[in-house]
Amino acid sequence: MCLWTSEFGSRESADVPESKRFAELEIELALSLHLNQSNFLQVRFSRLAQLSDHEAGIIRMVEARGRYTYRPDNRILSEGMEIRAPHVVMSGWAAKSRQLADGRRQIVGIVLPGDAIGLCSRARPLALTTVVAITTVKTVEAGELLTAWRDPTRTPNLAASLDTTAAEDEHYLFGHAMRLGRQTAYERIAHLFCELEYRLSSRGLSSGGSFNMPMTQETIADVAGLSVVHVNRTLQQMRREGRIELARSRLAILDLPGLQSTGEFVPPRVSLPAE
């Protein structure tokens, strides 16, 4: 269990004075133009659906924006606070979490690069969970995605993609409840690793079952509803059995079919292909 001390630390770009924010945005923008010649978002969405030129242009524009940067343990959203604008994670991991008065914390979802934060269509929305950066997280504002979702007339494929990702998120959340309620520690971690592998590989962030996995054992514990000690012992058992390698924030799933089987991981199937 993590005794959560609410330490905000230095949050860049977001929730800082305008003057500083703009300066940092410029730096970030400059950096992204030089180093982040990334087409990560374009790749992600083009894998979700065939986009029209208009839609692809929206994605390119969003992707070219300045980054908001959050340091580990900074809050990206706070439960109950108003959501200003939707963002998309360009790099880094975050955790959607809830906590109890005595400090017990439950992570209810992992936010990976390419995931949206605060993308919801109701008016004046409040955050339903607290979103905390696990690593350094870089996001871009993406109000256009909300527009495209709510009014799909000119952006049907983009809207369909967002429908799909929203439904997949719901699928993972149901799977999370299943894990927490009815699976053993070993099964929970197996299931979790398979989910992460599946989600990352579809974004080109995992190859051959091996990927960057920047969660500490305490974070894994808060996801899996376990204690750190038990997570540690379970991981070692998986290592002993030759099913994973995990060191220096890098996870290699050596026996993916095996882990999928013991964890009973089922990839999301949320809709039939358009006829």
Q: Which residues lie near DNA (CB under 7 A)?
A: 1, 184-186, 216-218, 225-230, 232-233, 235-236, 247-249
Quote the least distance from Cβ 183 to a copy of itself, whole Å.
Answer: 7
Is 260 a binding residue for a copy of itself by CB under 8 A? The answer is no
Answer whether 45's CB lies under 8 Å from 59's CB. Answer: yes
Q: Which is nearer to a copy of itself, 11 or 104 (CB)?
A: 104
Answer whether 45's CB lies under 8 Å from 60's CB. Answer: no
Quote the least distance from Cβ 66 to a copy of itself, whole Å.
Answer: 28
Is 82 a binding residue for a copy of itself by CB under 8 A? The answer is yes
Residue partners of 44: CB distance under 8 A and separation at least 6: 114, 203
Is 217 a binding residue for a copy of itself by CB under 8 A? The answer is no
Nearest to 154 by CA among 64, 62, 65, 56: 56
| Chain position carrying tokens 């995990």 | 246
Distance CA 142, CA 14 (A): 14
Is 75 a binding residue for a copy of itself by CB under 8 A? The answer is no
Quote the least distance from Cβ 199 to DNA, whole Å.
Answer: 20
Is 80 a binding residue for a copy of itself by CB under 8 A? The answer is yes
DSSP letter string over 144-202?
A: HHHHHHH-TTS-HHHHHHHHHHHHHHHHHHHHHHHHHHH--HHHHHHHHHHHHHHHHHT
Is 272 a binding residue for a copy of itself by CB under 8 A? The answer is yes
Quote the least distance from Cβ 191 to a copy of itself, whole Å.
Answer: 10
Q: Which is nearer to a copy of itself, 71 or 104 (CB)?
A: 104
Q: Which is nearer to DNA, 106 or 260 (CB)?
A: 106
Q: Which helix (H) or strand (E) holds 109?
A: strand 105-111
CA dihedral 118, 78, 220, 70 (to 10 degrees): 80
Q: Which of 72, 125, 214, 258 binds a copy of itself (CB under 8 A)?
A: 125
Answer whether 117's CB lies under 8 Å from 135's CB. Answer: no
Distance CA 103, CA 5 (A): 8
Residue 249 binds: one of a copy of itself, DNA, none (C-beta under 5 to 8 A by kind)? DNA
Residue 248 binds: one of DNA, a copy of itself, none (C-beta under 5 to 8 A by kind)? DNA
User: Distances in Å between the alpha carbon of 256 and those of 64, 239, 240?
Assistant: 36, 13, 15
Binding site for a copy of itself (CB under 8 A): 1, 80, 82, 96, 98, 100-101, 104-106, 108, 120-126, 128-129, 160, 163-164, 166-167, 170-171, 173-178, 180-183, 224-225, 264, 268-275
